[in-house]
A and B are shown apart, each in its own frame.
Chain A
Amino acid sequence: MARTRDFSRVSGAGTRVACPSHVELCSYFLGRALEAATATPIRAAASIIGCIGFVMPRMLWPVLAVALCAPGLKAQSDQTENILRQAISLHQAGNVEGAIPKYEAYLKARPDSMLALANLGAAYAHVGRYGDAISEYKKALASEPGNAPIEMNLALAYYKSGQIDDAAKTLQKVHQVSPADTRPTLLLADCWLAMGKNKEVIDLMSPVAERQPDDLAVAYLLGTALVRDNQVERGQVVIDKILRNGDSAEARLLLGTTKLGAMDFAGALQDLTKAVELNPKLPDVYSYYGLALLRTGDAAGAENAFRQELASNPNDFNANLQIGVLLKQDENYEGALKYLRHALDIRPGDLAVRYQIASIDFARGGAEQARKELESIVKESPKFTEAHVTLATVYYRLKRKDDGDRERATVAALNAEAQEKQPGVHVK
């Protein structure tokens, strides 16, 4: 079942609005954007652009205007332009599958048509062909660099296809062009949260939260980032604000996340269980619920929760990582790699994921491959003790005793350093 971040109930918006199923990855704030869009005639027109564009109607209006009103188009009555008209007509009628070959045919004759490229991209996205959509959007942008609506569509296609890093980069461009536009800002924050860039989210959302103190969507994103960045006190202020609006899945998720960070696993489980009850469609909710289950001894339940998360949100980093680790523990290395590699797609360069992949390489006999990756990891993160431990083991296995001893000494030094930071005073 598709899930959305439906925040309308919390925000008191009155009308419960959910994103349509084909945009299940969109967040609660996109639901709000849709809600606003329903009051305008643009929404129907926006559907021409396709499912992803559907959520950004105002931004896409200029593209649509070109589609419907460009005088050159009206004047041209040749067969080629008729194909485009047919494509748009089919698209408007909801026959996206029928529109696609028309767009494709038109583009054979007019390969540089920004309009056709953008609409074909949207049509592809509508039917789930995100790779093709991205390709078309890029071509459209080549024709018209910097077109914000198409950039936005491209970002959403990236997001939908799990290329969160690319989505974020693209959204950053949109955000720079229109910094006051909350929607790309919120989506950018959402991407960064998925990538673990909590500090960036805090920097991005703090001024927005000051400008829009009553916007609970903003509060939620900022609060999540603060909690994940262990800024518990600041996070608590934000959580309180959300809680003042009544019990909600979002508030419970935040509370549960906070308790997980504080290692109060049983308390976290209580909140996250409630969050799941209140809104099982809330993105991340099953992912964190799974973590709480794992920490309270229910590995089977945890795996089930992670899979539930992935069923509706294949790009959840945590769930991919945790299932990868669980499968690795069961020595199902191929299965583990599938999830871990996807986690790496979501957070490119993530050290924890790379470490897991390297340890699988090692377990499968690829000591040399593991060595290269682990050397790269400890170079990037010299205090990553676990990576030094495994690298030492790899060196010993490769009969490189001196290197192993060196890594072992590094581990000892890191441990000694950690020990110095331990609490404790001498008493008689």
Chain B
Amino acid sequence: MKLTRRHILSLAGAGAARLLATTPNASPLFEEVPASSSGITWTHENAMSPERYLPETLGPGCAFLDFDNDGWMDIFLVNSGPSDFYKPPKPLRNALYKNNRDGTFTDVTEKAGVAGGSAFGMGVAVGDYDNDGWPDIFVTAYGNCTLYRNNHDGTFTDVTKKSGLETPGWTTSAVWFDYDNDGRLDLFICSFVDYGKTEHLSCGDNKLGKHYYCIPRVFRGTASFLYHNNGDGTFTPVQAGTDIAKMMGKGLGVVATDINNDGKMDLFVANDTVQNFLYVNRGKDKSGKWQFEEIALAAEVGYSENGQARSGMGVDAADVFNSGYQDLFVANVDQEMFSLYRNQKNETFRDVAHPNGVAQSTRLLSGWGLKFFDYDDDGNIDLILSNGHPDDMIENYSMQVKYKEPLVLFHQDGGKLHDVSKDAGPAFSKMYAARGLAAGDFNNDGRIDILVANNGGAPLLLRNQSGAGNHWLGIRLIGTSCNKDAIGARIVWSAGGAVRSRLKNSGGSYLSSHDPREVLGIGSAAKIDYVEIHWPAPSGKVEKFTTLPLDRYIAIEEGKGIRG
């Protein structure tokens, strides 16, 4: 291949992966897996009505989960359903697709008993709340939430009422995490707006003489929910007396992470049209009450750098710049640009979206599901964004903003993110009304694939084909004294002279849940020198492993070493 000056500049600016991707014969980084190939024929019903009720445009979420513990990622998709403004002409259902381990999936929804159909479903959070080693499913909704407990036999039982997690209102993203380090997963649920009980707000007719989706600014905010896991299958709401109850937000996205490395999981919540919230876990106060302090204003993650509340939707956290601290991300709507907040290591952040090209790439986009991940296994954290404007009539008022928008892929090179969407494959040239996004390795090749849930359409499954020649190790962490999902664990690994670390966060994206396994990319290094697991409390144990395989998945169980 002849290297032109442009190629050389491209190589310098965005790394070899980008250059290879521009080569005409190179495979796209991500390839769409059509429904005809995957067998995923389910489509989302957004219930779009002439009245344009706001819940219609906000869903759905999706998840990668291994519901049958066979080591292969299955897929869960959330659908809308009956509500006070919508009576489906025919029954609607969620979908659970079992991975057939050959690139195809089988719909097992009915057998599994997770069809739902009693509420207007929004999002999904997967977690092993009962520490039985099997993932359970929590579904948020406009209407009551649902908790499905895994029966270990391919079926689930609706235990919502018994668990105490019904949670009426309009809930969106939810996250399982162990806030009090008692070894059991607790649950935080974002509450969106006060949408009214018997009547709803209409914003009237637009220039076309049609109703349009109200901007959430017109609705009053609500307080989110924090449930403590009692360890007996029940939960107790514990937000009262904390900042979580005091803060009236319009929560859409949430990620559980540890922003100050104190071993206690914090929460970052993206709010729509009001400030974001950063709830720092302060532990017990003098009265024994567990406290979260909301510090977004002081931390400079509440508003834009010009002091404006934005339309926060998707979120994520990761140690993007390998500083040992968690950085944050928020997706907003068009003209607001998305934020990449670099952790300053003192409970404050600085928005570095502009120096990383993120602001420029997202000025005209409205972002929802997203994920920090190392798509090419080179060891650096990259980023994918799914987008789509919430107003289906936007193109009638705006020539530059579209209802359906493209996915955006950033590759990290030289400590900066670079937009490589143009080189990522045909799927990145298409337009989607994307909402949820989940990352997971459905074919177990060590390259993390992507699932996008589209509003009013079929989901999009993208097979990751990047990172040829790069090595990796996939790890499933299994807690014993800590929570079974090991959320809050820190993985430190050394390979090729580089030491990296990763915190096992929970949640993130929008309405969605990711593959719980961690894939450690090591680039061209021939071996991994060591992997250290810093298990979360209550044990806080640190275990080091030096004899490790490459290019395969292993399980590491707390105190019991490598399994399988």
Q: How many residues belonging to A are interface residues under a CB distance threshold of 8 Å? A: 39
The closest CB in chain B to the CB of A386 belongs to B307
Which residues on the B side are within 8 Å of A267 (C-beta)? 399
List of A residues within 8 angstroms of B348 by Cβ: 397
Given contacts A266-B400, A424-B214, contact A389 B303 (CB under 8 A): yes
Besides the contacts A297-B363, A392-B297, A428-B199, what 13 more A-B pairs have beta carbons closer than 8 Å?
A264-B398, A265-B398, A266-B399, A295-B335, A296-B400, A329-B354, A330-B355, A355-B307, A389-B302, A390-B307, A393-B297, A423-B203, A426-B202
Contact A423:B360 (CB < 8 A) given known A330-B354, A389-B307, A393-B297 = no
Contact with A along B296-307 (1 / 0, CB 8 A): 011010110111
- 26 A–B contacts from the bound complex (CB under 8 Å): A263-B398, A264-B398, A265-B398, A297-B400, A329-B355, A330-B355, A331-B352, A331-B354, A359-B307, A385-B308, A386-B303, A386-B307, A389-B275, A393-B300, A396-B298, A408-B297, A415-B274, A419-B220, A422-B218, A425-B202, A425-B204, A426-B196, A426-B199, A427-B51, A427-B200, A427-B202
A423 touches B300 (CB 8 A): no
Contacts of A386 in B (CB 8 A): 303, 306-308
Chain A's nearest CB lies how many Å from the CB of B344? 11
A282 beta carbon closer than 8 Å to chain B: no
B198 CB–A CB distance under 8 Å: yes
User: Which A residues are in CB contact (< 8 Å) with B307?
Assistant: 355, 359, 385-390
Task: Tell whether B75 is near chain A: CB-to-CB under 8 Å.
Answer: no
Known pairs A386-B308, A390-B307, A415-B274; A427 contacts B400 (CB<8 A) = no
SS class of chain A's interface: helix, strand, loop or mixed?
A: helix
**A residues lining the B interface (CB < 8 Å):** 263-267, 269, 295-297, 299-300, 329-331, 355, 359, 363, 385-390, 392-393, 396-397, 404, 408, 415, 418-419, 422-428
Cβ of B35 within 8 Å of any chain A Cβ, yes or no, is no
Contacts of B354 in A (CB 8 A): 329-331
In angstroms, Cα B307 to Cα A419, docked, is: 17
A328's nearest neighbour on chain B, judged by CB, is B305
Count of chain A to chain B residue pairs whose CB atoms are closer than 8 Å in the complex: 100
**Residues in chain A near residue B360, CB distance under 8 A:** 297, 299-300
Number of interface residues of B (CB under 8 A): 41
**With A267-B399, A393-B298, A396-B297 known to touch, is A419 a contact of B218 (CB < 8 Å)?**
yes
CA distance in complex: A296, B402 (Å): 12
- A329–B305 contact, CB under 8 A? yes
B214 nearest CB neighbor, chain A only: A424
Query: How far is it, in angstroms, between the C-alpha of A267 and the C-alpha of B307 when the chains are bound?
Result: 28
Cβ-closest 8 pairs across A and B: A386-B307, A266-B399, A396-B298, A389-B307, A329-B354, A424-B218, A422-B218, A424-B201
Contact with A along B340-365 (1 / 0, CB 8 A): 00000000101010110001100110
Distance in Å from the Cβ of A341 to the closest Cβ of chain B? 18
Contacts of A355 in B (CB 8 A): 306-307
The docked-state distance in angstroms from the alpha carbon of A425 to that of B51 is: 12
Chain B residues contacting A393 (CB-CB under 8 Å) are 297-298, 300
Note all chain B residues with C-beta closer than 8 A to A392: 297
